[in-house]
Amino acid sequence: MPSLDRKPGDSGQRTAKAVEWIREEGIKMLISRRDNVQRLETHLLSLADLGRKLLVLGIAVWLCLNLDRAHAQEPQMMLRISEIEIHADHLDQYKALLKEEAEASVRLEPGVIAIFPLYQREDHTQIRILEMYADRQAYEAHLKTPHFQKYKTATLHMVKSLKLVDMQAIDAETMTRMFKKMKR
């Protein structure tokens, strides 16, 4: 700031310098404040953007946790294909026991949706069974039933090879419609 010591005859000049100095300092303060306001606005926008991102992330995490819980609580259907090769000399007896077991399982067990035995046209000893259970617990309960235990022990010596293949439905919605379309 210029010196404001009073000397005779130069009061107008000093006043003009003081006014000029005040104006310049005021402009500097305004510019400084404008820059500070702009920086503050930028920070606030960044914080708002960060807040939106955190909110979206929070919602995503919440959805994942709740969907996992929903899936964990919702029993998942168990699907399996049993690939079995039977010794040819036991084929007729095996088919009769399998037919009996499949019918009893579907009729007696609420958790057994389907046990559908099939054989290959070219090689009748190649058996495939489409197994559908309401959930894993229904499958485990099925293994303990008297009719399954009878089938398992009676056919053990007839089986040349067995492969159990767990499957996953590609289109479960269409699968439910398929069963509705079937006629008795």
Q: Between 21 and 107, name the one with better pLDDT.
A: 107
Using the structure block, give the residue that is written with the tokens 């399998």.
Answer: 98
Residue that is last in its domain, among 54, 74, 94: 74
Using the structure block, give the residue that is written with the tokens 């306001």.
Answer: 37
Range 121-138 average pLDDT:
94
Number of domains in the chain: 2
Hey, what are 5's tokens? 């010591």
Residue 89: per-residue pLDDT:
98
Using the structure block, give the residue that is written with the tokens 């489409």.
Answer: 130
Query: Considering only 43-57, 59-73, 117-131, which range has the smallest mean pLDDT?
Result: 59-73
* Distance, CA of 55 to chain centre: 20
Residue 52: per-residue pLDDT:
59
Residue 61: per-residue pLDDT:
53
Residue that is last in its domain, among 74, 107, 122: 74
- pLDDT bucket at 118, cuts 50 / 70 / 90: very high
Query: Considering only 1-10, 145-154, 159-168, which range has the smallest mean pLDDT?
Result: 1-10
Asked if residue 160 and residue 89 are part of one domain, the reply reads yes
Residue 136: per-residue pLDDT:
93
| d(C-alpha 143, C-alpha 140), whole Å | 5
Asked if residue 146 and residue 55 are part of one domain, the reply reads no
- pLDDT above 80 for 70: no
Range 120-133 average pLDDT:
95
Asked if residue 136 and residue 70 are part of one domain, the reply reads no
- pLDDT above 70 for 86: yes
Query: Considering only 20-29, 66-75, 136-145, 157-166, which range has the smallest mean pLDDT?
Result: 66-75
